[in-house]
Structure 1
């Protein structure tokens, strides 16, 4: 059995996981490598060159960078799906997420898994597409339509101060941290699979 994940921005790239006896093989396809970005030498129209973050180019030149990027992608996705099946993930660390953090004399309140706004944020950043390519302010705005740019920036700061996301150096891109992935996954599972059904069953 093969499952393909088509929730990516482009359907020409994707992940597949193929169950084998006592094993699980993760495969990544990348038919359009320009979807990915990396630091490389860019030639300008005036003949000069510079190192900058740019779209990956097709060709042998990009094989090394593409290999590293796809290996990192597979590793992040394996971490992501392992959190879905690990019942111990993040339970004891929920307190760290829900407690107010003070940075530079400015408080950043904790997250509440029963708050609709916070839950919307968690569901957004836990999207499979962000596991692959990361996310920026504009990507979250597309998923959280009720928030403007400054409000999303504030949310990103809260997520960073609580250790749930990390910023890629010299970019505006973020990824879930290992801690963030485990806590958010477990928090959402507890809410949807246990707490809400139990409350619904009360007389």
Structure 2
């Protein structure tokens, strides 16, 4: 230290966080972190299926089997779903403030001159949809085809193999697998701008599709303006605060459903000729005539490949997203060139809408694939990737 220097100097120092892992009487196993300096920020991590297991156990139910954070078997799936849905009605500020007080018993004394509570936000949420199979053999029979479809059709940028972890000891229910005999699985993950959707198998007989939302700006919520809380409702950007948590679950569930719908085309038995013929002729939309799709044209193929990417299952895609994929050089072009490329992509989107392959998300500039779009793109890549030996076998 230089004694001749006066005033304040900015120096880098280490910051200390305290972590607490405990069994909560309501939520089960969770962990929380508090920083040891003002304003004592708190981060809490909890698991909805851990919570569900506690709910079922408190009700005296034993008709379920649990492995880690999934349920390979449920005696009453409808009841379990109702319990999961009821979690969304939680008074989150009150509940989380109680946990925060247990982390910092001195909170009231510290903030006595200016009493205040925490503003709670969801930094990241994971919303999973589990499809339970009667036995591992049934899932194993179709899972390789689902993985191939996700890899080739969705153009997944990440396919990661993993070996299942041993389940925690602090849970109710029955362990149905062990570390020794747990089968190797495959996770397929797609992500875009901080949000992702992934598919993987768990406990041998559970197929899970899971949407993770960390960047909320890509979604909308129907709410009043900040300046007029009692005013009319309008579609506003989704906030990270727990007040919009209900909407986050809605968009996450829709993402999972769209992904599962796309996977369902693997079992479709519609002849490819019928699928291709449906888009091989002009269509009339009012007085507007739209040309046929050219499924052998590189330009049309590139557009279909782009809109079928798995990461767009979360929030859909915009003109801007397709521009970056189809014309990456336009990002550094001048304004006139960007407008020209935007208009070109706009015409391609209108063509896909005219053929019923995509639909516009209400009150947004985003689009998602329709069932017809999923079927066409799946059939297209399956036939293009197949060789003659496979086709005539």
Corresponding residue number in structure 1 for 2:267 = 86
Q: Given the alignment, which residue of 111, 117, 124 partners 2:293?
A: 111
2:282 aligned residue (100, 105, 124): 100
- State yes or no: 1:156 paired with 2:349: yes
CA contact (8 A) 2:283 2:354 kept: yes
Q: Indicate whether 1:30 and 2:213 are aligned.
A: yes
1:102, 1:108 within 8 Å by CA — same for their partners in 2? yes
Cα offset for 1:2?
Answer: 5.5
Displaced runs of 4 or more, over 6 A: none
Equivalent residue for 2:199, pick from 8, 14, 17: 17
- Corresponding residue of 1:182: 375
Q: For residues 150 and 183 of structure 1, what CA distance do their matches in structure 2 show?
A: 25
2-structure distance, mates of 1:34, 1:136? 14
In terms of fraction of residues, the more helix-rich structure is 1
Give yes or no for contact 1:38–1:54 (8 Å, CA) kept in 2.
yes
Structure 1: 5+ residue runs without aligned partners?
Answer: 199-203
Specify which of 273, 279, 303 is matched with residue 121 of structure 1. 303
Cα 1:51–1:194 shift into 2, 3 Å = farther
Task: Extract unaligned runs of 5+ from structure 2.
Answer: 1-184, 331-339
Identify the match of residue 39 of structure 1 among 200, 211, 222.
222
Give the conservation status (yes or no) of the 8 Å contact 1:166–1:174: yes
Q: Equivalent residue for 2:319?
A: 137
User: Are 2:188 and 1:7 aligned?
Assistant: no
Counterpart-to-counterpart distance in 2, 1:119 and 1:47:
47
Whether contact under 8 Å (1:90, 1:183) holds in the other structure is no
* TM-score calculated relative to the size of structure 1: 0.82
Query: Alpha carbons of 1:64 and 1:2: their partners in 2 closer, same or farther (altered >3 Å)?
Result: farther
SS in 2 for 1:42: coil
Q: Residues 68 and 54 from structure 1, CA distance in 2 versus in 1: closer, same or farther, beyond 3 angstroms? A: same
- Counterpart residue number, 2:359: 166
Per-residue CA distance 1:77-125 (angstroms, 9 max, x = gap): 1112232x33535722221111111223332111122110000010110
Is the CA contact 1:73–1:132 (under 8 Å) kept in the aligned structure 2? yes
Mean alpha-carbon deviation: is it higher for 174-183 or for 99-108?
Answer: 99-108
RMSD: 2.6
TM-score of the superposition, structure 2-length normalised? 0.45
Question: Greater shift after overlay, 49-58 or 130-139?
Answer: 49-58
Cα 1:173–1:89 change in 2 (3 A) is: farther
C-alpha distance in structure 2 between counterparts of 1:97 and 1:81, whole Å: 21
Q: Distance in 2 between matches of 1:103 and 1:47?
A: 41
CA distance in structure 2 between the partners assigned to 1:94 and 1:102 by the alignment: 18
Greater radius of gyration (CA): 2
Structure with the greater relative contact order (CA < 8 A, sep ≥ 6): 1 or 2? Answer: 1
Higher mean Cα deviation, 147-156 or 51-60? 51-60
